[in-house]
Structures are given as structure tokens and as C-alpha cells.
Amino acid sequence: MRAMNRTAAPLLSLLLVLGAGNLTPARALVRLGDALPAHPWASSANDDEREIVVLYSHDCGDLGELWSALLRSGLPIRAVNAEDVASPAPAGLSVWHGPDATAFARALAVSAYPTVLLVRGERVLNAWEGTFSGKL
């Protein structure tokens, strides 16, 4: 049997949480395979490296359980606080906010916040949109 790397189990758990209906079903308008719009962070040196992009706004409610699940994944996280009202993210995460962050979310055609994108090589691999119930 093949051994899993240290981030495989938390990532699998995160994907199961996101796919199990805790976020609304995958009705994202974000197109899988699309390139990310312009953003301020440096591209990964390794195109095979996966990362998470979280788009959220001030009116998402308590995202504590979502942030916890995302942090446990072990993947790099890009936090994008859209829609003009600052809202915190967990300590240690740099948050992009302001008009350019909102334009980024709108260019992706996000229909609901929070939206979680699994990205590799600047391309969207998977997307989940909607509210998080807090159940893991």
C-alpha cells in the first residue's frame, strides 16, 4: 500500500467537507480550468503546487470552521476580502482587500461568498460557493 504524504489526509478531509454539502453544491459560475485574473501575489515557482484561494466578504457570518478546515489542509491560502468592507482572516494570513480584490472576485464570476477555489499553476481545479454550516 502506498504511503500518504503528511498533507494528504487533511486535504482529503477538506475536500470531503467542501463536497459533502457544507457549502452549497457546486453551482459555481467559476469555470474550471480558467486562469486566475490579475492578482498581487507571486505565482508559484512550481506549477504542480496546489493552493487555495478564498473569496469572502464581511457578510459571510462566522467562517471559523471553514478557516480551520482550510488551514488544516496544509496548502498555501490566498485570502481575498471582496466588497469594500474589511473583514478579518486568521492570524498569519495576508488578506487582499479593496476595489482590486472585488474586481478579481467579479472577474471570476463568483455568485456567492464564501467561494473556495483549489488552484494549480494559476488555473482553477475546483470551486465551491455558498455558506458554510460549520459541520465537519
pLDDT digits (tens, 9 = 90+) for 118-128: 999 889 988 88
State residue 135's pLDDT score. 38
Whether the pLDDT of residue 23 is over 70: the answer is no
What is the model's pTM? Answer: 0.76
Q: Who has greater pLDDT, 129 or 80?
A: 80
Whether the pLDDT of residue 53 is over 90: the answer is yes
In the structure, what pLDDT confidence band is assigned to residue 42 with cuts at 50, 70 and 90?
A: confident
DSSP secondary-structure letter at 39? -
Q: Who has greater pLDDT, 87 or 4?
A: 87
Q: Rounded mean pLDDT of 37-60?
A: 83
Query: What sign results for the dihedral spanned by CA atoms 43, 130, 19, 3?
Result: positive
Whether the pLDDT of residue 28 is over 80: the answer is no
Q: Who has greater pLDDT, 11 or 90?
A: 90
42 phi and psi angles, rounded to 5 deg? -70, 140
DSSP secondary-structure letter at 3? P
pLDDT over 90 for what percent of the chain?
32
For 134, residues 6+ apart whose C-beta sits below 8 A from its C-beta are 22, 62, 64, 65
